[in-house]
Amino acid sequence: MWAGLQQVWKVGKVAVLSAAVVVAGGSAAWMAHATTKKADAQPAEPAKPERIARLDADRVTVPAAVAERLKLTTAPVAPSHPCPFAPFQGTLALDNNTLQRVHTRFAGEVVELGHCTVPSEASLSTRPFAAVTRPVQVGDEVKAGQLLAVVWSKDLGEKKSQLVDAVSKLKADEKVLATLRDLLKQNATAERSVRDAERAVDADKVAVGVAERTLKSWRLTDTEITAIRAEADRLSDPTAKVDSGEWARVEVRAARDGTILEKNLTVGDIVDTTADLFKIGDLSHLTVWVHVYEDDLPLLNSLPKPISWMLSMPSRPGVTFEGRLEQVHAVIDQNQHTALVSGRVENPNGELKVGQFVNVRVNRPAHPGELVVPTEAVVEDGRQSVVFVRPDPTKTEYVRRPVTVARRTRDEIFLAPDSQLRAEDRVVTAGALLLREAADALPTPTAR
């Protein structure tokens, strides 16, 4: 019995110890839970929010962190500078004032072409190229007075012969009149014969005058007419031989320096006075034909004269040529609503070609007092145009200022002198619209 009691006492002791461990563990867990709950229950310190604030009617402040997130950027205000129009499209043409349409003064047969001297073509020889003479052709440079062709004209020969005949007959009749006058002094002839001889001499003088005026009307020079008279004097000698081989020769010469652009004849052709035997142009400068929209005409006409322009070609990027605008024509194309504008461009080296497509830029001069800002800096609502200026680079304050737009391009806006800005002020570019909305929507702080 005593052994049974000892066994029961051992079992109870183990149970009591186990219960104590459980109670202790539960107490510790409860205390730890309570401590954690207490710690969680304590309120955290509230973070101060960073946000855009309105200081007054036209000033807003933007914290640095917010400005960085919004990527606000600024750009300096610049003084006005020459501003080009949008490029105009045009083409190159010959200057009609220097274009020569070479005609013959008399119809006839082409018997000879003028010649020019040019270097010979390249060969395998290392010797210098020898000069060769050949008939003129398209592309040759010619000088004023250079012979281009010779036309054989029977009409000119006939008119020269008429003058020679008239001069010869006048000389003969004058001799007859002188003889009759001597005979009349000796009473060896009738006075009527002298009067008839005088009338014949007067008629001969009229015929000579008519022949000379006809040749002058055909643009023969005084030198050529004098040569014909000398030929008539030579033929008055009974022993002189008649040689009219050069009388029908008509020389076609260049009136001015230039380049042969067209050649419309060859030896053996029968030509008349209306045919363009050659076309010669001065390629040292060309005419520029440009189509300008009628909306740009008032400003274009207001520019100080002379108006210079710069030409570029799609076929030669980066290369420009200087020229000037000369005339704005009076007719507007009803379909395109453009006006034809003409001018010139210098071409001393012959790099420009007739018919080439060109882009033309005209610079508008800088206006005194105007300022220039990027296009995105100006915010417009249809009633007012404003910009936001950062007066102090150490502060994150931005001030709204009204401006007046004078004119604009794709990348820049030109502001009138009455705008409340100064050169070197920094205006907001990216984010200007957001600042405008903040300045209009946020409440103005009340004074305490």
Whether the predicted model's global pTM rises above the 0.75 cut: no
Quick one: what percent of the chain has pLDDT higher than 70? 83
- What amino acid is encoded at 409 in this protein? T
The string of pLDDT tens digits covering residues 377-404 is 899 888 889 899 988 888 888 888 888 8
Give 3-state DSSP helix, strand, coil % of the chain, rounded to 5.
30, 30, 35
Residue 131 pLDDT level (bands cut at 50, 70, 90): confident
Q: How confident is the model at residue 92 (pLDDT cuts 50, 70, 90)?
A: very high
CB 339 within 8 A of CB 297: yes
pLDDT of residue 199: 92
Work out the pLDDT band at 24, boundaries 50, 70, 90.
Answer: very low
Residue 245: the pLDDT is 56
Q: Which of 76-85, 121-130, 276-285, 409-418 has the lowest mean pLDDT?
A: 121-130
Residue 241 banded pLDDT, cuts 50, 70, 90? low
pLDDT at 236: 65
Q: Which of 395, 410, 419, 328 is nearest to 60 (CA)?
A: 395
Write the pLDDT tens digit of every residue in 313-372: 888 888 888 888 888 888 888 888 888 999 999 888 888 999 999 988 887 777 778 888
- Residues 214, 216, 220, 221: what is their CA dihedral angle, to the nearest 10 degrees? 150
21: pLDDT confidence band, cut at 50, 70 and 90?
Answer: very low
Contact (Cβ atoms closer than 8 angstroms) between residue 396 and residue 67: yes
Q: Beta strand pairing status for 385-389 and 379-380?
A: antiparallel
Give the residue carrying structure tokens 């400005």.
67
Question: CA 315, CA 296: separation in Å to the nearest integer?
Answer: 27
If one compares 381 and 277, the residue with the highest pLDDT of the two is 277
Question: Which residue has better confidence, 421 or 49?
Answer: 421
Which of 173-182, 233-242, 403-412 is predicted with the least confidence, judged by mean pLDDT? Answer: 233-242
Distance CA 346, CA 330 (A): 25
Bridge partners (DSSP) of residue 327 are 342
